[in-house]
Amino acid sequence: MLGSETNSNDILAGLNQSLLRNLNYKFRLYGPEKLIKKKIEKYGALLKASEIIDCESYISMDDKPSDILKKKENSSMFLAIRSVSEHLSDAVLSFGNTGALMSLSLLNIKTLKGIKRPAIASIWPNIAGESIVLDLGANTKLDTRYLLDNSILGSSLASILFKIDNPSIGLLNVGVEDNKGNDEIRSASDSLKELSKIHNINYHGYVEGNDISIGKTNVVVTDGFTGNVALKTAEGTAKLFQSHLNDAFRSSILSKIGYFLSSLAMKSVKDRLDPRVHNCGIMVGLNSLAVKCHGQSEHRGVSYAADIIYSLLENNVNKRIQHYVHEIQSKLQD
Amino acid sequence: MLGSETNSNDILAGLNQSLLRNLNYKFRLYGPEKLIKKKIEKYGALLKASEIIDCESYISMDDKPSDILKKKENSSMFLAIRSVSEHLSDAVLSFGNTGALMSLSLLNIKTLKGIKRPAIASIWPNIAGESIVLDLGANTKLDTRYLLDNSILGSSLASILFKIDNPSIGLLNVGVEDNKGNDEIRSASDSLKELSKIHNINYHGYVEGNDISIGKTNVVVTDGFTGNVALKTAEGTAKLFQSHLNDAFRSSILSKIGYFLSSLAMKSVKDRLDPRVHNCGIMVGLNSLAVKCHGQSEHRGVSYAADIIYSLLENNVNKRIQHYVHEIQSKLQD
C-alpha cells in the first residue's frame, strides 16, 4: 500500500529488501498504477511478488475522520483495509494518516474476540536492547480492562519479536510502591498479579518513565494518553540532545575536527535512535494486523516494518493472543 | 537545610555562591551542628549569614509517610518546614525525600487561598531556552480545576523567572485538534480560552510531548501523573543517548581521537542537560515556597536552586499568584 508522504522509491526498495529475506511474501500495492509500474521495474523480485491496484485518490494528513468515511471510499488506504477485511490480504502497512488508519481499521477489520479495544505498540530502543511499549495513542481513556488487554497484546508481540518465552511486563506508574498511581492502575496491577500465576503472564510490577530506556522489562504497558505523551517527549528530548550536540561541535575549531573524526560514530547513534528507521506503530488487537510507519520513512524503515509484519504473521500472532485471552477468561471464571 | 544524600560541601559551596550574587540572603541550616561548623569555616560570607540549628535526626529516602509524622518530629526536614510555617523562614530548600517534603509541606505550610492543591514545577531546557513544566507529580489525579490552578502557578513562575509579561501557556495533550484528549482536558481548555480574555492569561492551546523540547510555549501544564512519566522518560532518553554516544565513541581509534578533541563540546552538552545541575522541583501553591533539589546535586545545582528561590521571593511570587486567583475568581463570578 502506498501512502502519499513517503517517497515511493523508498517504499519499493524497502519492500524488496524485506522480500529477499522473507521469500514467501506477496504484496498488493495500492496507488497510482502508472507511477508504481515505472518505478518497480528495477526490483525484479518485488515485481513478480506484487499485484498493483490502481487508485489515484488518497487520504491526506489533513483529512478529518468524518470526511474520510463519506468521501474517500476509493482511496488507497480505504481499499487496502477492505482487502484485509475481505481476507484478500493478511495485514496492511501504511505511511499515511494514523487517525484515519486507526478508525478505518477498527470499523472494517474489527477487534479480536475478547479484546475490547486495539492498541498501538512500538518497539522502543533501550540500553539493554529493545522493548515493546503500548498503548501509544489508540485509546486515551484510562481503563483497567484496557491495561489488561494491552498486557496480553504486548506480551504476545514481545514473545514473537524478541523470541523469548515469558516476556516480563511492567505497568507504567509514577513510582514502584504499591500505593502509587490511581485506582485504575492499582486495580490492573492486582489483576496482573493474579494472572501471573498463569504460566505465560510474567508480571514484573510497576515501572517508571526512566525504566523504559533502561529496559527493565520486555513490555511496558500504559494508557494511550500517557504513552503518546511519553513517546513524543522522548522524541523531543532526542532532538534536543542532537541540537545541543551540533551546536557544541560547531563551537570551536578543535571540536569541528573532533566532529569530523567521530562522525561515523555519531552516525551510528543517529541511526540507532532515528525515528525514520525505527518508528513504526503496530496496531494490535484487531482481527488482522495494521502497521503505521513514520511519514518520512527511509527504505530501511520500510524493510524493518515489513520484516516485523512477516514475523508476526508467520508466528500466528493473533492465534497466540486468542490463546492468552482464553486462558485469562477461564482463569477469571474460576 | 541539610539533607543526607547531597555532599554537605556541595550544599555549603552552592549557598555561598548564591549569597555572593544575592547579598540579602539569610540562611537557617538544619543538620549536625558540629559537622556544619567545621565545614562552613572556609565560607566567610555564608558563616556570617547563617544560623545553624543542630539536629542529628533526618528523614531517609526509605522512610514511609506514615512513619515520618510519628517518629521524625526532630528531623532536619521537619524542623525546617516548621520554621517556615512559623514564619521564621520564607522558604525551604531540601535535598531529601520528595514525598516527605511534599506531605509535610502540605500539612504544615498549607495551600494558598484559592489554590486547591500545590504542584511541583520544573525548569525544562528546550531548543529556544527554557520553559516551566508542571505538575511533575504532586497530584496524580486528573482534574480540570487542578489544571487551571497549574496554569496560574506556572504562569506566575515563568513571568518572574524568565522576566516576561504574558508567558504563553500550553496544555499537554495527544494532539492539537479540539477533539483530542479527555473530558477534563477539554474542559480546562475551554476555561483557559475564557480566561485568556483576562489580560494576564496567555493561553496558546494544546501542545504535544515533543513541543516541550521545542519550547513552543513558556509554560506546559499537565496532571502530575503524565508530567512525572514525561519527565522521567525524558531523563531516560537523555541517558540512553549518552550511553549510545559513549559506545560509539569507543568503537574505533579515529572516533576516540575525535572524542578527545571534541570532549569540551561534549561536556557543555552534558552540563546543559545534566539533572545534577538543573533538576530542581519547585513546589508552588503553598503559603511559602518549598524547593526540592536532586539528591546528588553539585554545588552548581545548589546555587542554581538558591538563586531561583531568591528571585521568586524578591518578586513576591505568592502575591502575584493571589492576584491571578483573585482576577479569575471575580471573572468566573461575572
Q: How many domains does chain B have?
A: 2
Cβ contacts of B35 within 8 Å, gap of 6 or more: B8
Copy the grid coordinates of residue B316.
513576591
Residue A131: all three cell numbers together: 522493548
Please give the helix or strand (H or E) that residue A53 lies within, else none: strand A50-54
The answer to whether residue A99 is domain-embedded is yes
| All three cell numbers of A175 | 513510582
Helix axes of B263-273 and B253-261: crossing angle, nearest 10 degrees:
70
Query: If you count them, how many residues does chain B have?
Result: 334
Report how far apart the first and last C-alpha atoms of chain A are (Å, whole number).
45
What CA dihedral angle connects A131, A137, A140 and A145, to 10 degrees?
A: -40
Residue A173 and residue A65 share a domain? no
A45 min Cα distance to partner chain B (Å): 36
| Whether B207 and B95 share a structural domain | no
Record the cell numbers describing residue B12, joined without a space: 555549603
Pair A268, B250: CB distance under 8 Å: no
Test mutation, A64, A66, A206, A262, chain B, max B CBs within 10 A:
A262
Same domain, yes or no, for A248 and A302? no
Number of residues that this document lists for chain A: 334
Chain B's closest residue to A271, CA to CA, is B244
- Predicted ipTM beyond 0.90: no
| B238 interfaces chain A, CB cutoff of 8 Å | yes
3 state SS of A310: helix
| One domain, residues A94 and A21 | yes
HSE-CB for A269 with a 13 A CA cutoff: 26
Contacts of the segment A271-278: beta carbons below 8 A, 24+ positions apart? A272/A125, A272/B244, A273/A125, A273/A238, A273/B240, A273/B241, A273/B244, A275/A235, A276/A301, A277/A301, A277/A304, A278/A123, A278/A125, A278/A304
Is residue B1 domain-resident? Answer: no
Same domain, B90 and B149: no
Which residues on chain A are in Cβ contact (under 8 Å) with B143? none
Provide the grid cell at A231: 513517546
Cα of first residue to Cα of last residue in chain B, in angstroms, is 45
Q: Are residues B266 and B146 in the same domain?
A: yes
**Quick one: pLDDT at residue B266?**
65
Which of B33, A133, B282, A254 minimizes the C-alpha distance to B293?
Answer: B282
Domain membership flag for residue B333: no
A329 within a domain of the structure (yes/no): no
Which residue in A has a C-alpha nearest to residue B172's C-alpha? A229
Q: Residues 158 to 217 of A: which have CB under 8 A from any B CB?
A: 172, 174, 180-182, 208-214
Contact yes or no for B229 and A209 at CB 8 A: yes
Residue numbers in A near B212 (CB within 8 A): 233, 236
Interface check for B236 against chain A (CB to CB < 8 A): the answer is: yes
Residues in chain A, pLDDT under 50: 3
Closest Cβ–Cβ partner in B140, B181, B251 for A140:
B181
Q: Is B253 on the interface with A (CB under 8 A)?
A: no
What residue type is A22 in one-letter code? N
For B:276-315, CB contacts with A below 8 A are: none
> Looking at beta carbons, which residues of chain B come within 8 Å of A234?
209, 233-234, 236-237
**Domain boundaries, position B233:** 119-276
The answer, for A251 touching chain B at a CB cutoff of 8 Å, is yes
CA distance A81 to chain B (A): 24
Residues A52 and A132 reside in one and the same domain: no
Running DSSP on this structure, what letter comes out for residue B64?
Answer: -
Q: What H or E segment, with its residue span, contains residue B212?
A: helix B209-214
Are A224 and A303 part of one and the same domain? no
Q: Which backbone phi and psi does B208 adopt, to 5 degrees? A: -110, 170
Tell me how far apart the alpha carbons of residues B206 and B321 are, in angstroms, rounded to a whole number. Answer: 23
Contact B266 A259 (CB under 8 A): no
Give CA–CA dist A318/A324, Å, rounded: 10
Q: For chain B, which ranges sit under pLDDT 70?
A: 1-6, 258, 261-278, 331-334
A257 min Cα distance to partner chain B (Å): 7
**B181/chain A closest Cα distance in angstroms:** 6
- Looking at residue B246, its pLDDT comes to 77
Query: Is B97 inside a domain boundary?
Result: yes
Specify the CATH number for the domain of residue B102: 3.40.718.10
**Strands of B12-90, DSSP E:** 27-31, 50-54
Residue in A228, A248, A268 closest to B248 by CB: A268
Q: What angle do CA B46, B47, B48 make, to 5 degrees?
A: 90
In a domain, B101, yes or no: yes
CA distance B140 to B226: 8
From B127, which residue of chain A is nearest by alpha-carbon distance?
A: A240
Q: Are A208 and A291 within one domain?
A: no
Comparing CB atoms, the residue among B231, B245, B263 nearest residue A269 is: B245
Judgement on whether residues B189 and B266 belong to the same structural domain of the protein: yes
Instruction: Say which DSSP state B126 is in.
Output: -
In a domain, B329, yes or no: no
Q: Is residue A331 part of a domain?
A: no
Amino acid at B222: T
With contact defined as beta carbons under 8 Å apart, do A270 and B241 qualify? no
Q: How far is it, in rounded angstroms, from Cα B170 to Cα B91? A: 28
Q: In chain A, where does DSSP find H-type helix?
A: 8-21, 33-40, 44-49, 65-71, 76-85, 98-108, 144-161, 183-195, 209-214, 224-249, 253-261, 263-273, 275-278, 299-314, 317-333
What lies within 8 Å, CB to CB, of B221 at 6+ separation is B134, B147, B150, B151, B154, B169, B170, B171, B172, B188
CB of A330 closer than 8 Å to CB of A200: no
Same domain, A27 and A126: no
Regarding whether A109 and A56 lie in a shared domain, the answer is: yes
